[in-house]
Amino acid sequence: MPDSKTKGGILNGRLVFIKEFLKHPLQIGSIIPSSRYLERRIVEAAGAASVDVIVELGPGTGGVTRAMLRAMPRHARLLSIEINPTFNKLVGKIKDHRLIAHLGSASELREIIAQYGLGPPNAIVSGIPFSTMSPSVGSQILETVSSVLPPNGRFVAYQVKNQVAILGRPFLGTGQISTEFLNIPPMRIFRWEKNA
């Protein structure tokens, strides 16, 4: 059972999330953070329990980040890339030596991975809303995602709409789609595994 401090932190995180959504609706995929049910599905789809390196694009207030850290091996590294300074600051407060909280754009994915001397990521998880960005920017990000993943690497995107599947098809092929209804709004989970 969460203590009152934890409940206060969750409530404060939700309020910050809503405030940032209202300020930057095209950068944020939902008006409220992910549910714990969605977090669990994302962690499983990414195979977080067996990664060496995992990258998170658009961690928001860090709910999925924390869930992945709970599942990851002790030696693994998690690189979160967030364009919103308020969200990046919140994620940066998570006390875990395996986490790197980077303020920047997903479009600079390759350079950011190299900046921290990380190997190819076993998984990339994305909460950034591909449906509200230009198709050219979305395609460029997905092409980079495909190019940095090693054989058998996984890409997982949780989205309200299916734009990521359309944009990702030339680079990643046809992925698997499932829906988590215990989330507001219900969220689609897209998963690709790169061919060996």
Burial (CB < 10 A; 0-12, 13-18, 19+), residue 139, is middle
In a domain, 117, yes or no: yes
Task: Let me know if residue 7 belongs to a domain.
Answer: no
In sequence order, which residues have a C-beta less than 8 Å from that of residue 82 and are 6 or more positions away? 58, 59, 60, 88, 91, 101, 102, 103, 104
Write down the pTM of the prediction. 0.85
pLDDT at 123: 98
Find the CATH number of the domain harbouring 63.
3.40.50.150
Model confidence pLDDT, tens digit, residues 125-165? 999 999 889 999 999 999 999 999 999 999 999 999 999 99
User: What pLDDT does 184 receive?
Assistant: 85
CA-to-CA distance for 187 and 30, rounded, in angstroms? 9
Give strand pairing partners of 53. Answer: 77
In a domain, 15, yes or no: no
Computed from CA positions of residues 67, 41, 56, 98, in that sequence, does the dihedral angle turn out positive or negative?
A: positive
Could you list the residue range(s) of the whole structural domain that residue 100 is in? 34-193
Give CA angle at 17 (118, 164), nearest 5°: 55
CB 35 within 8 A of CB 91: no
Say if CB 142 and CB 57 are below 8 A apart: no
Is residue 20 a part of any domain in this protein? Answer: no
In a domain, 5, yes or no: no
Q: Has residue 122 been placed in a domain?
A: yes
pLDDT of residue 4: 37
Residue 179 included in any domain: yes
Taking 50 as the pLDDT cut, the residues of the chain under it are 1-11, 17, 21, 24-31
Residue 22 resides in a domain: no
What is the total count of domains within the chain? Answer: 1
Query: Taking the CB of residue 124, how many other CB atoms lie within 10 A of it?
Result: 27
* Residue 64 phi, psi dihedral angles, 5° rounding: -70, -35
